[in-house]
Structure 1
Amino acid sequence: MEILRVFNNNVVLAKDDDGTEVVLTGRGLGFQGRPGGAVDAAKVVRKFVPSDGRDPDHLAQMLAGIAPETVRAVIDAMHETGLGDDMAGNTAVVVALADHVDNALRRVREGIAVEYPLRAEVCNLYPREFEQGRTLLAALNRRLVSAEGGVALPDGEATALTLHLVNAGFATGDLSYTYMMTGVIQQMMTIIEASYGITFDRDSVSVSRFITHVRYLFVRIHQGRQLEHEPEPIVQAIRQSYPEALRCAQKIAAVLELRLDANLTEDEIAYLALHVARVSSQPAEPAA
């Protein structure tokens, strides 16, 4: 295999023997590596093949920012909990879970507590995935606490893991809906850029995370299970804290009504506003 780009000592983008671009990870794999050079096959621990048209460079960038130990813990935990055959081979799922776990570990070490107000809804709407999320969290924590200086993730992270599993199951469904969803997401990003007078790097990690949240919204719309009856103090706090983002979210809701033939609930619009506020606070560059 030939090295195309070195991201750090442990992650390289390479061309497989059949010409496919793949992301390779392994301790010291990228050390002193150069584009055009040969991959040291003995150092390769895992090979990630981009799927669903995902950009290999972006995938490699994501992996380069995740501790290798976290990726290994996620994959091993998935296999232990019976998710291996279905999902551990899905690059997008593994990277999304590993990215989330890596950030969750960072928050725990910094003493930052995160509450997931959707726990009751997630538990009720997706009981099978919620049980998988709880089992996956337990398997992860067994590995995380045994590592040097290890810490355990709080119970609330089962909710976030569940949402990733729900999203993964949805992503393997009807491709025609996925294609349409992709076009709508592009419209959403354009609306945010126009509203804030900014230009996003569409390949950035912050935009990638926003799109992940939006895909959860599409899952709920597709299944006819939009958020309703959320705690009013939380919804009201979002509306008061992010008025500009709320106006932007309402514009997006009008587009979704036309494209998806679905009216967003007020609770969905509020949470969409929260995600708009977050992604708009990290633009790549101001609009020309």
Structure 2
Amino acid sequence: MGRGIAFKKKEGDFVDQTLIEKQFSLTNNEILPKFAELLSEIPLSVISVSEIIINQAKSQLDGKLQDSIYISLTDHIHFAIERHKQGFDIPNGFLWEIKKLYNKEFKIGLFALETIKQRLNVILPEDEAGFITFHIINAQLNDTMPNIVTMTKIMREILNIVKYHFKFEYDEDSLTYQRFVTHLKFFSQRILNNNFVASQDISLYEIVKEKYHQAYLCTKRIDLHLIQQYAHPLTDDESLYLTIHIERLRNELQIMAVSE
């Protein structure tokens, strides 16, 4: 990339090396052939927009994004634009959950829609911000798209169990809530991949169970739900961490209620 690098140039011409400001490369040998195929099928303008969105995601989110996002997101955006032009927009059934559970990533999705609007003159519906969010989550966790959807469902179910057990409303802007959601994201991924956290120190679990008894009872309700729906009984360590997170939420919301 560089200002004026292709001015008055046609295919086959040499590039003036002094105009080059940035160079981009992929080092994943599995991705390269697929990306080369993508380059031959998708307009460069769409690829450039996708790259802007990915850079924004990298700058705003913690952790590394898998190189596969260069293919999955670019392909999705191209297909979404083509569908939109044909009047065939797909509703996102998880849009409400995505907004609530993946706040940072959803902001990237909204940034993507605005970038597409400004650079490609295409106005995509908000549902597409949700689908783009899924692609970003997928690149963060290196998981499959169906798993990301199911993870979102598990997170929603657990949040609802906690909410109705204590009969409170979440403060979704609080750090405690955001930490709980982050914990649930990786916790639900372990459930789908059948990765059980082995218990280490049972004495700490017994202390927490006794000290935070109300939160522990809520954890047991979650345990029963996960056994019935996903055949995943909680280990003592998983129960320990869930109980601590739930107690923090309960305590924070009690303090807020008193202050009001």
Instruction: Output the TM-score relative to the length of structure 2.
Output: 0.47
| Higher strand fraction (1 or 2) | 1
Instruction: Output the TM-score relative to the length of structure 1.
Output: 0.43
| Higher helix fraction (1 or 2) | 2
Q: Which has the larger radius of gyration?
A: 2
